[in-house]
Structure 1
Amino acid sequence: MIARMYVVLTVLGFLPVMIVWQILGIDIADGQMLREKGKRQASSLQEIPALRGTIYDRAGRTLAVNTTRYDLGVDPTVQGYAAKANILYAELAAITGRSSSAFRAKVSGRSSQKYALLSRDLSERQMERIRELGVPGVRPDPTFARRYNHQSTFAHVLGHVDTDLVGLAGIEKQYDRFLTGTPGKRIRKRDRRGVTTASVAGDDVSPRHGESIVLTIDLVRQSIVEEELARGVAEAGATWGVAAAMNPRTGEILALSNVPTYDPNRPGAFSSAERRNRAVTDQIEPGSTFKLVSAVTALEEKVAALSDTVDTGKGWHVFGGRTMRDTHAHGKITLLDAIALSSNVGIAKTALKVEPGDLYQRARDMGFGQPTYVDLPGEVAGRLKKPSEWSGTSRTSISIGYEVTATPLQILASYAALANDGLLVQPYVVAERRDFEGNTVWKAKPDSVRRAFKARTARKLKPAFEEVVLSGTAKRAQIDGLRIAGKTGTAHKVIEGQYRRDKSRATFVGFFPVEDPQVALIVVMDEPETSSYGGVVSAPVFQRIAQRWIPTLPQAPGFFNDAAASTSVRETTVPLVEGKPLAIAQSQITAAGYYVKASSVEPESVVRRQSPRPGEVLEHNQRVELVSATDDAADQEWVSDVVDSNLMPNLKGLGVRQAVYWLSTKGITAKIEGNGTIARQYPAPGKPVAREATLVAR
């Protein structure tokens, strides 16, 4: 018995020693690791978000910016909250349109003792009104979003982001790594109850905010292109249209537009077809616009001269068992006339004098069969078959723009090379990148890809392509006093393996002024209903864009010859800018030759009234007054402030949101069919206003 007691006492005596030994073992073996783990549990790492960079147009106007929205919660247990709660509820009711009792019920019925969510998605301005109340216990929770100030304008250039602000399309995707930035971090202490406070000892790491992007495109010119393209697509009944412009000397993209389009603020509301940037993603057969390559090859290889005669016969000829036709019979004509009149037979016969390898290589030199490497995502290279893949009729077919595919931008770049005396340049959209402080960290440098053909060949060919506009197939592109050169193109589409004469694409591509080219511009229409010819449906769009662009270009006074300048029009009609953002409205009024007096300085405010009225004839250098709505209250005021005219305006080319907004001010119910920009409207422009209007958008 005593022996057992000694054994138990001995074991009990060794137990503290064993415990101490174990503690020492843990401290030696795992002490450092456990101490680090304890520190981590006593602190938390809070991410400081980096701001995504802003996107500007070439004049410094903001196109894409960051916005902050707030979910508003409160802690009713905070001292002083109860005394000011009713003031808070009343202000929230005024902001949201809900009753004060609804917010009071949210607090009384809350599931958490120290938190109740009162409202979601408050703007910065609304949140500032809440802060000014000085109510204790208010807990705003900010979330960041991307806002595109001009809705669908620039949509296919800018692209859009997802909910995490990651670029998914356009410049947002192409330059995502520069726009995104790097988040910072802040260390917070956590007590035993889990409450965190600022850690004095913690070193904050500041975020590196994203770089801002400056585009080569001007907002005014872009909006003009979008409006005229939308009008052209609607008038022609086309399924889609593309227009793009570039500086042929530098490669700067000056405009890029697609119809139908979409609003990058809500991309999910639009189809993938509407979000598609067809200027770089779609391969089309160039049709007669490819005749530039054939003409260049013939002159460069010295197998023909522009003065040489070619017999086009009665307007048709059989090549390798296939009949090729002209629109009209021309008989014997010069090569220059074959270009101006777009004779398929004349160009094909000339191409037979050229070796297949020479035609192929010249097309490669002019950028076909390879990307332009423009800084936009999704570009395709097109298709240019090697001579070893050609059939017996490939040479004549390729010479007039079949059996070869290219993007609209590739076709434009080839004509820019003609304008630039044979030098092919790389197109680009971003002019520079800036850091958060506004310092330029990178600037684009114009880059020539290669000399596609000799300068003297370009000088010989320019008059031939100018003749296309003067007396050939593109007379509808003419502007008095302005020298324009270009080429029309019609390409029948392949559907189920067969060319369909009733389904085609119509193109006009050109540049101006011929003596010192500043702008190269292409317009493409898909399946136009009114005509299949580029000279009929696409050339007028080119002409209207050029006319409206001229006053916005600094070199404009030198574009016209003296005779044209002395008889130039000194008065025009006042453009319709009601329902448009002030920044666009001001620029369009200025471009039309007038001075602007605006009631607001907010560029995103909407013009609600203009004087003189749209359509009035006014001498240049007169003043046009714009009254705009800068907040929700002003917008509501406009609803009761009826615009003078009782006739329907021309809403074609406007975004759905702008058109519906205008109609609401007249008390008209809008019925919308489709998405994008307005293509057709009922009642028609100029008809008496009705109680209901139908708008067809594409």
Structure 2
Amino acid sequence: MSIVYLLLILIAIGIIARIIYLQTSERQFWKQQAKERTIQERTFKAKRGNIYAIDSDNGDYLLLATDVPQYELYLDLGKGYEYDRKQRKKIKKWVVSEKTFNEGLNALCDSLYNMFRFNDGNKTSYQYKNYFKNNRKKENRYVLVAKEISSEQLERMKQFPIIGKQIFKRGKPTNKYIFTNAVCKVESSRRVYPYYPLARRTIGINVTINGCDTCYNGIDGAFSKYLSGKRGKRLERKINPGEWVPVDTDERIKAVDGFDVVSTLDIRLQELAESSLRQCLNENEAESGCVVLMEVETGYIRAISNLIIDDEGEYRESNNIAISASFEPGSTFKTVTAMMLLDKGLADTSDLVPTGVKDFPGSEKPIKDVGETNHGLISFARALEISSNVGVSQLVYDKYGQSSNRENFRKDLSEYFRFEPLNLDIDVHEPRPKIGSSKNMTDLLRMSFGYVTRMTPLQLLTFYNAIANNGKMVKPMFVSSILKDGQTIKTFEPTVISESICKPETRSKIHNILKGVVQNGTGRRLKGTSYGIAGKSGTAEIGYDKKHVGIQHRASFVGYFPADEPKYSCIVVISKPQKARTHGGDLAAPVFRNLADRVAGSLIEFSKIKSPKNDRKIPIMKYGNAYNYHSFCKALGLDTKTPSSEWIKMKRNGESVEIIPQIIKQDKVPDVTGLTIRDAVLILENMGLKVKFSGKGKVASQSIAAGSDINKNGTIFLSLKSPAKETNRKHEETKTI
């Protein structure tokens, strides 16, 4: 037995000695082996689905958000094991031979510099050379060559020395190239927005939530279960802490691409809404503003824009004001008060009410109309048309002024305005509408004309949309359908919140009052259209309840059109204008009018508008976006050849228009005069320039001459100008056919 124990002791000593040896002498070797052999089956993301808008001009789908593939490229500059048949064993050899490395290094570094020289933090050829030499010296297996590489760049890199090689067929070179075995390619994707920054917060952006960097808000977030697809699985090798690369190109379980989402947004109306809003904010030096256009019958949101001034004085969509900002609406809430009083039989449109200024018993302050203008005794309907605070307050005081009855006013209002969230199909925080206490006489009266209550612009628009929809309230919608491979697999039908918010006769009276606001009241700026508008203006004071704070204003207009057969409802809100104009009828109404004119124009049947053939004119345009020009010519009934380039120029060819592809040099400033500001910004920002502009119309001049070298991150100033009207001479740019 003693011999057995002795043998066991010797074995144990041997094991311990071996462990010590491995932990000391061969420590680095085995660490490297573990590093090289760390292979796991890991999941990888699927291609996220697209988000589309519609194009009202032709019914096509236009991309709002899509995933674009991008790549990281690694180069193996170390040694790997290779079986030697002569020695009948594995030997270590350079993955990239000495000859290949030394002969191709300079050319590779020059090629990389030329390709990425406009990228931030790019290396010079000399820096690339030192970088690769140092990694070669350390025998590093996975050396990053470049990241965020486009598909086009990836193809070009196959022709670079060391990392690519030409394919030969029967001993003759072909025009095809592949990567060498020393290259490891890692594919990922990035979300791009072709119409950025249009509807930026509504479409959704990538946000970090609880450490998750692939989370989205807006439509992208709300419909992530459709868009995200199903992850795939593949073998990956760990190259650095937190960094993995695929072992091979074969996927064990293929990823399933996400479905596509069709939003309710109309890109043409979205562009118009944003440009009209931006112009108003600039002209009045306002702090922020929003505009929402909704389809009456369905609740589809056709346009939504939110602009807030930033620290640099630029208006950007940094928050979704229309959905997430809650504030006191002001006079636009008088319609709710009027509906309640009329529907409950507590008042009639012919009731006479005072105007101007009035001290109500129990109120801390007198109630005043704008400008304290006294119109004498007028009808309740007329008081609403001119937006008299005193007139509305008088009826509320008469019916709810008793202290025991004041809280009933609050309860009665809640029967007509839904103080509940809309639970929208979009990942944006929506606050609950609030209505304060009406026990205090001052609060009771101020509540009647839009204070002591809070709501979002979209919540208020939903109420007005119900008036336009014969009393039926529908939920606002941002998505209409889901697509798979271009085929509709799911349709979202309109959701009815309430079949009727009031009696039909009450709705009719309110409708006539809102028409009167435009014809004879505070909305007179919207008067004179061929289609008719009905709505209500509002002006709310901001900071009225705070001492030592100057009072500012929030101007709004909310309504619908065509007035007698409503198809669309719209709200415009402008906050804290610094110029003299502060009232909703002056500030917000023009934005409403711009949008309504465009939309109402599209409602007219084109077939009813006839013009002689010899009045048709072929437009000659400077180079611009191919899709826009192709669609424009198509709408005019002109034959065009399918564009093969993103940017084109147009040329007459008899009764057709020839589209000529235009090449824009990436290292030279292009000539953008004559372009729309959207096309000019798209071209210049893609080249790394920051763009600022002033004026309106098309680009008339640019601060950096065309043909100048690109200064990465430089700023170019564009001056916009509308073309002068020429009525006494024939335009040189058109030709009668």
If the length of structure 1 is used for normalisation, what is the TM-score? 0.74
Partner AA of 1:472 in structure 2: G
Q: CA deviation at 1:289?
A: 0.5
1:159 aligns with 2:204: yes
Q: CA deviation at 1:535?
A: 0.5
1:140 aligns with 2:185: yes
Report the CA distance shift for 1:498/1:269 in structure 2 as closer, same or farther (over 3 A): closer
Partner of 2:135: 110
The structure showing larger relative contact order (alpha-carbon pairs under 8 Å, at least 6 residues apart) is: 1
What CA distance in whole angstroms lies between the structure 1 residues aligned with 2:592 and 2:558? Answer: 8
Give RMSD over aligned pairs: 4.7
Partner of 1:92: 112
Corresponding residue to 2:384 among 339, 343, 354: 339
Task: Describe the SS at the equivalent of 1:319.
Answer: coil
Task: Describe the SS at the equivalent of 1:538.
Answer: helix
What CA distance in whole angstroms lies between the structure 2 residues aligned with 1:579 and 1:501? Answer: 50
Partner AA of 2:595 in structure 1: I
What CA distance in whole angstroms lies between the structure 2 residues aligned with 1:339 and 1:461? Answer: 10
1:506 and 1:538 in contact (8 A); partners too: yes
Partner AA of 2:352 in structure 1: V
Report the CA distance shift for 1:115/1:381 in structure 2 as closer, same or farther (over 3 A): closer
Report the CA distance shift for 1:572/1:174 in structure 2 as closer, same or farther (over 3 A): farther
Q: CA deviation at 1:167?
A: 2.7
1:373 and 1:427 in contact (8 A); partners too: no
Partner of 2:557: 508
1:166 and 1:173 in contact (8 A); partners too: no
Q: CA deviation at 1:124?
A: 1.4
Report the CA distance shift for 1:92/1:391 in structure 2 as closer, same or farther (over 3 A): same
Report the CA distance shift for 1:623/1:269 in structure 2 as closer, same or farther (over 3 A): farther
Partner AA of 2:323 in structure 1: V
Partner AA of 2:342 in structure 1: L
Q: CA deviation at 1:427?
A: 0.7
1:309 and 1:332 in contact (8 A); partners too: no
Q: CA deviation at 1:459?
A: 2.0
Partner AA of 1:299 in structure 2: L
| 1:499-518 residue CA offsets vs partner (Å, 9 max, x unmatched) | 97741100011100122211
**How many percent of aligned residue pairs carry the same amino acid?**
24
1:280 aligns with 2:342: no
Task: Describe the SS at the equivalent of 1:126.
Answer: helix
1:462 aligns with 2:462: no
Partner AA of 1:134 in structure 2: I
Corresponding residue to 2:433 among 382, 397, 409: 382
Report the CA distance shift for 1:91/1:523 in structure 2 as closer, same or farther (over 3 A): same
Partner of 1:410: 459
Q: CA deviation at 1:668?
A: 12
| 1:195-244 residue CA offsets vs partner (Å, 9 max, x unmatched) | 996699xx923323333221011111111100100001111221101101
What CA distance in whole angstroms lies between the structure 1 residues aligned with 2:490 and 2:447? Answer: 41
What pairs up with 1:170-181 in 2 under 5 angstroms?
A: 170-181=218-229
Q: CA deviation at 1:354?
A: 4.2
What pairs up with 1:285-296 in 2 under 5 angstroms?
A: 285-296=328-339
Partner AA of 1:119 in structure 2: A
What CA distance in whole angstroms lies between the structure 1 residues aligned with 2:307 and 2:616? Answer: 27
1:310 aligns with 2:359: no
Report the CA distance shift for 1:505/1:586 in structure 2 as closer, same or farther (over 3 A): farther
Corresponding residue to 1:50 among 46, 49, 56: 46
What CA distance in whole angstroms lies between the structure 1 residues aligned with 2:11 and 2:678? Answer: 92
Segment of structure 1 superposing worse, 401-410 or 83-92:
83-92
What CA distance in whole angstroms lies between the structure 2 residues aligned with 1:576 and 1:362? Answer: 61
Partner of 1:696: none
Partner of 2:68: 67
Q: CA deviation at 1:182?
A: 3.1
| 1:399-423 residue CA offsets vs partner (Å, 9 max, x unmatched) | 1111111111111111101101111
2:651 and 2:657 in contact (8 A); partners too: yes
1:119 aligns with 2:140: no
What CA distance in whole angstroms lies between the structure 2 residues aligned with 1:362 and 1:653? Answer: 54
Partner AA of 1:545 in structure 2: L
Corresponding residue to 2:360 among 319, 335, 344: 319
What CA distance in whole angstroms lies between the structure 2 residues aligned with 1:301 and 1:309? Answer: 15
1:297 and 1:354 in contact (8 A); partners too: no
Task: Describe the SS at the equivalent of 2:477.
Answer: coil
1:480 aligns with 2:501: no
Q: CA deviation at 1:543?
A: 0.5
Q: CA deviation at 1:498?
A: 4.9
Partner of 1:30: none
Q: CA deviation at 1:48?
A: 3.1
Corresponding residue to 2:343 among 300, 306, 323: 300
Partner AA of 2:75 in structure 1: V
Partner AA of 2:482 in structure 1: R
1:534 aligns with 2:584: yes
Q: CA deviation at 1:344?
A: 1.5
Q: How many residues align?
A: 611
Report the CA distance shift for 1:684/1:482 in structure 2 as closer, same or farther (over 3 A): same
What CA distance in whole angstroms lies between the structure 2 residues aligned with 1:88 and 1:364? Answer: 72
1:643 aligns with 2:673: yes
What CA distance in whole angstroms lies between the structure 2 residues aligned with 1:311 and 1:653? Answer: 56
Segment of structure 1 superposing worse, 323-332 or 87-96:
87-96
1:225 aligns with 2:250: no
Partner of 2:571: 522
| 1:502-549 residue CA offsets vs partner (Å, 9 max, x unmatched) | 411000111001222111011100011231111111101110111223
What CA distance in whole angstroms lies between the structure 2 residues aligned with 1:319 and 1:580? Answer: 63
2:339 and 2:416 in contact (8 A); partners too: no
2:329 and 2:538 in contact (8 A); partners too: yes
